[in-house]
Each structure stands twice: as C-alpha cells, then as structure tokens.
Amino acid sequence: MKKPSMLKLLVAAVALFAMCGAGAQVKERTLKFAFQNQSGHPQAQGAQKFADLVAAKSGGKITVKLFAGGALGGDLQTVSALQGGTVELTVLNAGILSAQVKEFAAYDFPFLFNSGKEADAVTDGPFGQKLMARLEDKGLHGLGYWDLGFRNLTNSKRPIVKADDIAGLKIRVIQSPIYIDLFGALGANATPLPFPELYPALDQKAVDGQENPNTTILSSKFAEVQKYITQTRHIYNPQALLISRKTWDGMSAEEKKIITEASAESTAFQREASRGAADSALDALKKAGMTVSELPPEEMAKLRTKVKPVIDKYSASVGEATVKELMAEIDKARK
C-alpha cells in the first residue's frame, strides 16, 4: 500500500489544527435575551428562533436564555443592563433608542411608512445601518431590525369613530417624548409607563387606554380590560435587535459569525411570522369581545393635520438632513 506523502500529512495536520482552532474559538456561555412581549407573540417566536439557531450553529456551546414579558424590567432598564453587560441581548421598538441616538426618533414619526416591506427597505439599507452604527459608542451593537407592526388605539371608555373622540382619554404611551407629544396633540392625556406596568394600569382604570399593534394587544390579553379598538395605524414599529457591546467585543470572530448569521436568519423568520399573525389577530380580538372601528378617510386626514406640528418639532430636533435622507429612502422604496 502506498504511503501518504509528507506533504499530504502536513496538509491534513494543518486542516485538523484549523478545525480544532475554530472549535476552540467558541466558548461555553449563556446569553440572557430580555424583551417585553409574552411567549407566543411574534417577538418571542423570533427570539426562540434566534436561540435555536445559535445553539445549532455553536454545537450547543452557546445557550440563549429567554426572558419574556418584561421579566427583567422595562425597555429603558433593559437597555441600561445591556450597556452594563448584565443582560446580553434585547429587541425593542427602535424609536426608544432616541434616548441614546436622537436620530432614532425618526422611526416614530406618525404615518411614516405604508407597509412593513417599505420599512424593511429603509431599515436594511444605508439609513438603517447608519443609525445602528451610531449605537457603538453607547455600549450597544445592532444586529438587525424585526417587525412589530402598525400601532392601533384601544380604550375602555367609548368607540373612536372620529378624530376628536380621542380628546380627554388617558392613554398609556411608551417612554419616548414623541409619543407623549403625539397623543397630547390629539387631545389625550398621554401617560408614559413601562410595558410590564400596563395591564395592571388598564385593569385598575389608572389609564383609559393604550396603543400597540394588534398582535401585542392579543397576546397581552388586553381584550380582558379594553372594550374598544380603533385601527388608526398611526405608527409602524421597526424593532432593533441588539447585543451588549461588552459581550460583542469579548467574542471571537467565530462567535460573532454565529451571532450574525443567526440574526439574519431569525430576522427573516420573525418578519414573516409577525406579518402573518397581524392578519389574524384582529379577528381574534373581535371574537374576544372587542368592538372594532375604522376612521373614515376624512377623519384620518384630521389626525394627520393634528400631528403635523409634532412631525415638524421632531424634524428640527432629529435634524433636517436626517429627515431628508429618510424621506429619500422611503421614496426609493416606493418606486
């Protein structure tokens, strides 16, 4: 039998060493992934998909442990935990990051996007990636953008059939200045609260209503404490998938590759799951006893007129150049 040449033995040894080296670059570790929505929500489905992909790609060495339903605190608290390195991963409404990088407030402009696919083109493109890059100095590393969907208004007081019906209602909003100003412009008493405090506040009538996508309204069982839902579609929420910069910087190239690939694959999965769920959530809310209303075009036009000063205010604070760039990207997506 012909003996293998010295060259072949050397090549095989190098290949084996490289394989062992690659495996050694992936350490046994557990990453905590905290988010606000309940298990079963498309946000939680995306997180589970990400966890499964990371486990598979790392050969079981990296475990992603999920903390759903605000178990580790509200969004602002979780972002702080990522910056401190005590929580490794989160996904949250991108606009909330305006507290870190002011330009993120542009995602929360009312009536900005016409569809989720349109938002994907903007967030996955130069505009979205530029904003993610600005988080690096804030102790955060952006991995991608997920879908939460279009936000709609619920309350326990009365059906909203015209724009002026919103006036006087005490509405819980997320902890972001633009939301407070938006519902203030509509005549509501805007009340910022962390998401984990929302259901009790609705149940105890501390607030009259809230605004969230239909999928969140369904999974959070708000139909138990809210009677009326209006399909205002006033804001579309892209969600930012983030990892702690301290965690990211401590990873090997192989580990970063695993996280990056899992992020991309789970993003595609989550967007599809979220948009599919949005189609059926409203029917489920009707079956749960909620009264659904749609504002006629002339009343929607009134809403847009009422919130225009808010858009003007935040266009100035975000920066006219940033807003111009965003609008150009939206125009490109629509063409």
pLDDT digits (tens, 9 = 90+) for 165-179: 999 999 999 988 999
CA angle 40, 44, 46 (to 5 degrees): 120
The rounded distance, in Å, linking the Cα atoms of 146 and 269 is 9
pLDDT higher than 80, residue 149: yes
| Residue 165 counted as domain residue | yes
Residue 279 pLDDT level (bands cut at 50, 70, 90): confident
Mean pLDDT of 191-214: 97
pLDDT for residue 8: 55
Range of the structural domain that residue 249 is part of: 28-334
Residue 161 and residue 141 in contact, taking contact as beta carbons nearer than 8 Å: no
Residue 141 near residue 244 (C-beta atoms within 8 A): yes
Domain assignment of residue 20, yes or no: no
In three-state secondary structure terms, 30 is strand
Q: Do 232 and 162 form a contact (C-beta atoms < 8 A)?
A: no
Provide the 8-state DSSP code for 107. G
Percent over 70 (pLDDT), the chain:
93
Report yes or no on 9 lying in a domain: no
Residue 94: give its domain's CATH number.
3.40.190.170
Give domain status of residue 118, yes or no.
Answer: yes
Rg (CA), the chain: 23
pLDDT for the residue 16:
44
Token pair in block for residue 12 = 């095989």
Given this model, what pLDDT does residue 242 score?
98
Query: Residue 13: what pLDDT?
Result: 47
Q: Per residue in 64-95, pLDDT tens?
A: 999 999 999 999 999 999 999 999 999 999 99
Beta bridge partners of 292: 229
Q: Which residues pair with 93 in a beta bridge?
A: 239
Split at pLDDT 50, 70, 90, the class of 229 is very high
Residue 20 binned pLDDT confidence (cut-offs 50, 70, 90): very low
Distance CA 184, CA 169 (A): 10
15 burial level (CB within 10 Å; 0-12, 13-18, 19+): exposed
- Give the model's pLDDT for residue 335: 87
The count of structural domains within the chain is: 1
Axis-axis angle for helices 116-124, 253-287 (nearest 10): 160
Residue 19 lies in a domain: no
| pLDDT for residue 5 | 56
Q: Domain for residue 17, yes or no?
A: no
Is residue 237 included in any domain, yes or no? Answer: yes
- Residue 59 has phi, psi (to 5 degrees) of 65, 30
CA 40/CA 52 separation, integer angstroms: 15
pTM: 0.87
Q: Tell me what the pLDDT averaged over the chain comes to.
A: 93
How far, in Å, CA of 132 to CA of 238, rounded?
A: 13
Q: Does residue 107 lie within any of the structural domains?
A: yes
Residue 278 banded pLDDT, cuts 50, 70, 90: confident
Higher pLDDT, 305 or 4: 305
Residues in the chain: 335
d(CA 307, CA 309) in angstroms, rounded, equals: 6
